[in-house]
Amino acid sequence: MLEHGGRLRAAAQHYGIPLAAWLDLSTGLAPWPFEFPALPASVWQRLPEADDGLAAVAAQRYGAAQALPVAGAQAAIQLLPQLRSAGSRVGIVAPCYAEHAQAWQRAGHQLLELRDEAIEAALDELDVLLLVNPNNPTGRVFAPAQLLAWHARLAERGGWLVVDEAFIDATPELSLAAHSHTPGLIVLRSFGKFYGLAGVRLGFVLAEPSLLNDLHERLGPWAVSGPARWLGLSCLADEAAHRQQRLRLQQASQRLADLLGEYGLLSQGCALFQWLPSPRAAALDQQFARRGILLRHFTQPQSLRFGLPATEHDWQRLRLALDDIAGSNR
């Protein structure tokens, strides 16, 4: 099992700091969850129904022709490799969310790790190109025009472009959702990150109808719980909350970049997090953890991802930790 952010209980046990005393900045989730009314009792009592309107509301929200609800984008990540014959040549743009590579490797495909500058030269030898946009963990963004050009070259040979858009909701102009009905283009969308509701376990696959039908058959009935479907319908339709969340995230991410910059920590990122490459990443991670602040540490490359503080108290706590660490490192 791969490690991910949010392992707060393990950190509390390791550092001897009570669970409630931690500031968790490890997950890259919006720290302000969408508000929603109380769930009616029938949502808990009835089996989920696929014709409840969730797919249509999601397609409208994302500007796609069709959407397939799944139990988090993770469900699609694990199943997609099974839709291609084993031995496909899969280029994964690195660094990348590690679950992608593991799923394709387990399904018997040939993996090639690519840096940005190597994509053009490798593309015509690939059956699948997979990338995260904005990237996790770097926040780097690919322009839609570039992605569509790569998709056209792949699709000519029956290839796929798979784009994981888990962190794109605050910048919807970068999405390929409007093109996802075309053969060979598969877009994955996450619900939990932008909406601040990761525990709901909801995501969507945007693709041509035949591929969505294949995925649906493999998922089986009731793949998404009734409460998750109900919450999705409520949140996806709230346009005013979307506008507020986008603005709030963009402002907070810039504030975080500015704060880190005050201490000589030059970061980059997207609306949901800031990423700090540093040879000192492991040591910094431990220094923050000893002060009850959980970050996401990456080893390839050595780097830290900072999520967004939720409250002014959290911002001040982060600043105090930065002051303390800067002083101890002099």
Q: pLDDT tens-digit profile of 121-161?
A: 999 999 999 999 999 999 999 999 999 999 999 999 999 99
Encoded tokens for 176: 């390929």
Rounded Cα–Cα distance for residues 198 and 189 (Å): 13
| Sign of the dihedral through C-alpha 133, 3, 30, 300 | negative
The per-residue pLDDT for 1 is 47
Rounded Cα–Cα distance for residues 151 and 128 (Å): 10
Rounded Cα–Cα distance for residues 99 and 140 (Å): 19
DSSP at 47: P
Domains of the chain and any CATH numbers: 8-33+240-328 (3.90.1150.10), 46-237 (3.40.640.10)
The per-residue pLDDT for 327 is 81
Contact at 8 Å (CB) between 187 and 207? yes
Contact at 8 Å (CB) between 80 and 215? yes
The per-residue pLDDT for 4 is 54
**Can you list the alpha helix ranges (DSSP code H) found in the chain?**
8-15, 41-45, 54-62, 73-79, 98-106, 119-122, 144-155, 192-195, 209-219, 226-236, 239-262, 281-290, 312-328
As a whole number, the mean pLDDT across the chain is 95
Entry pTM: 0.95
Rounded Cα–Cα distance for residues 301 and 280 (Å): 11
Average pLDDT over residues 271-297: 97
Rounded Cα–Cα distance for residues 218 and 104 (Å): 16
Quick: pLDDT tens for 300-315: 899 999 999 999 999 9
Encoded tokens for 317: 């706590």
List CB contacts of 211: < 8 A, sequence separation 6 or more.
83, 186
Q: Is 18 helix (H, G, I), strand (E, B) or coil?
A: coil
Residue 6 above 90 pLDDT? no
How many angstroms from the chain centroid is the CA of residue 299?
19
Quick: pLDDT tens for 43-91: 999 999 999 999 999 999 999 999 999 999 999 999 999 999 999 999 9
Quick: pLDDT tens for 205-223: 999 999 999 999 999 999 9
Rounded Cα–Cα distance for residues 195 and 206 (Å): 19
List CB contacts of 308: < 8 A, sequence separation 6 or more.
25, 30, 31, 249, 252, 253, 256, 272, 273
List CB contacts of 190: < 8 A, sequence separation 6 or more.
72, 73, 165, 166, 167, 203
Share of the chain above pLDDT 90, in %: 93
Using pLDDT thresholds of 50, 70 and 90, give the confidence band for residue 328: confident
Contact at 8 Å (CB) between 19 and 12? yes
Number of neighbours of residue 30 by Cβ within 10 angstroms: 25
Average pLDDT over residues 169-178: 97
The per-residue pLDDT for 240 is 95
Encoded tokens for 114: 């690519």
List CB contacts of 11: < 8 A, sequence separation 6 or more.
17, 22, 289, 294
Quick: pLDDT tens for 253-274: 999 999 999 999 999 999 999 9
Contact at 8 Å (CB) between 306 and 284? no
